[in-house]
Amino acid sequence: MTTTDTPTTPAAGTLGGELRDAALAALSRIGAEVPAAGDGGLPVVSPLTGEALLTVPEAGRAEVDAAISAAAEAFRTWRSVPGPVRGGVVRRLGELLTEHKADLAELVTIEAGKITSEALGEVQEMIDVCDYAVGLSRSLGGRTMPSERPGHRLMEQWHPLGVVGVVSAFNFPVAVWSWNTAVALVCGDTVVWKPSEKTPLSALASNALLRRALVEAGFPEAVSTVVLGAREAGEALVADRQVALLSATGSERMGQQVAPVVAGRGGRYLLELGGNNAAVVAPSADLDLAVRGIVFAAAGTAGQRCTSLRRLIVHSSVVDDLVGRLRSVYAGLPVGDPRADGTLVGPLTDAGARARMLAALEEARADGGTVVVGGEAVDVDGAPGAAYVSPALVRMPAQTDVVRRETFAPILYVLTYDTLEEAIELHNDVPQGLSSAIFTLDVREAETFLSEVGSDCGIVNVNIGTSGAEIGGAFGGEKSTGGGRESGSDSWKQYMRRVTNTVNYSTELPLAQGVNFG
């Protein structure tokens, strides 16, 4: 950060002062300590006003190294704790999250700018994943396969992996950590978390709850540690050979930097990167339902979800009708303080994000696009340093470069098609492959979109939008989205190492493949 864009500190009695008091009160109810920052430190900037509410200490390489070494030491005991006992700690975390749901959601709103309902939903997702992981703690298991040799047993076991490093993005400041951590803990791993530099308080609060659960059960706190800092702290985690799995969530750019470093040291990585998600709207679509799904996915979270809907591929026979309906809804979307009742669109994370949105709209216009509605800066009382915008709907003549990039803001580009093949071609012709949807009542179209010749994404939906996944399924995407899968299904396998065992309980020593050796 340069001196020219150093955020100002709010005075008492202003909106920023009120946010600072609210954040400190929530942290105190949770029982999270905010260590005093010395010189420098990390400013905690709220997107609600653009001001620095507090400063927290920033971990240097030595602190990151110490956290990793402590986690490696804690792993030596944690790995041998019975799975269901580890599950008990995660169950307790879920209880504490339930107790402090409103407190943690308030911090998420203050740091990430989410409207209250979405912030509560994010904490609920943490509670849900704890439930899921508790179930896993009694059901993780390997297979037994038929051996080709008599008197032999061929089987596999899954063992804890080691230290899991988690690097997370600002827009899901707590849920992404819980997807990784709840599952990693029941798998017997320990965790070092480098949250986004934009959301340190939510991270301190979440980890304080987990540490309370650990201490109550008599386990070392170092099973889970937070290191606060920006990219340099993340780089230290990425480079460390003691980190067996590096799970990184963020931009495609970040993933491209992280992957070669982890691969180069022989580590494992799990990448959850940017998306450029599209929905196809077919002639048979229920347009009332489609409009609701589209608006939540495109304008919800101010377009700042990895699964936000960014492209709409609409059949030419319904495009004018659909765009007309969307225009009316977009024109009435309440933009403003995310804590206020009725607000549906909160702020962008910072002025840089707004500048990138406005620049993308300029580029779209230069490419022949027409902004149908929105796409303007919005002033909010008491928050002149914040970056509020009205969500934009843009008709495009073609899928140009700007459409093929992820702009992390509420821009929905509308393209048209005439055949389903053409729609799928447009759909897949982007670098990213995270989430997708089709709105149709035609079973042939729906099944084609779900099939191997349809969407190339990790998430493919029918008659719902692209965002708002449940934790029971595996979450993640293909191509430049990184290929990782987190949360449900069998994602847990990435947090463990598979061991294949052959046991001979016969008196002979037959060799596999019929080999005769003397």
Residues lying near ligand NAD in the complex (CB under 6 A) are found at 167-172, 194, 196-197, 230-231, 234-235, 238, 249-251, 254, 257-258, 272-275, 306, 406, 408, 434, 481
Q: Which of 106, 118, 122, 272 is catalytic?
A: 272
User: How many Å apart are CA 277 and CA 261, to the nearest integer?
Assistant: 28
Q: Using the minimum distance from each CB to ligand NAD, give the nearer residue, 23 or 273.
A: 273
Give the pairing of strands 392-395 and 388-389. unpaired
In terms of CB distance, is 108 or 446 closer to ligand NAD? Answer: 108
Place of tokens 């009694």: 138
Q: How far is the CB of 452 from ligand NAD (least distance, A)?
A: 22
For the question of residue 422 being annotated catalytic, the response is: no
Residue pair 119/41 in contact (Cβ under 8 Å)? The answer is no
Q: In the bound complex, what is the minimum distance in angstroms from residue 459's beta carbon to ligand NAD?
A: 10
* CA distance to 159, 231, 238, 321, 486, per residue, from 247 (Å): 18, 15, 9, 43, 9
User: From the centroid of its chain, how far is CA 71?
Assistant: 23
Residue 394 near residue 371, CB atoms below 8 Å: yes
When the beta carbons of 88 and 300 are compared against ligand NAD, the nearer one is 300
Count CB-CB contacts under 10 A for residue 326: 25
Rounded to a whole number of angstroms, the minimum distance from the CB of residue 57 to ligand NAD is 16
Q: H or E stretch including 192?
A: strand 190-194
Roughly what angle, to the nearest 10 degrees, separates helices 231-239 and 61-78?
Answer: 50
On the 0-12 / 13-18 / 19+ scale of CB atoms within 10 A, 405 is middle
Q: Which of 147/242 has CB closer to ligand NAD?
A: 242
Q: Which residue is nearest to ligand NAD (CB)?
A: 234
Report the alpha-carbon distance of residue 90 to residue 350 in Å, rounded.
34
H helices within 244-391, ranges in order? 252-264, 287-299, 319-331, 351-366
Tell me which residues are annotated as active site: 272
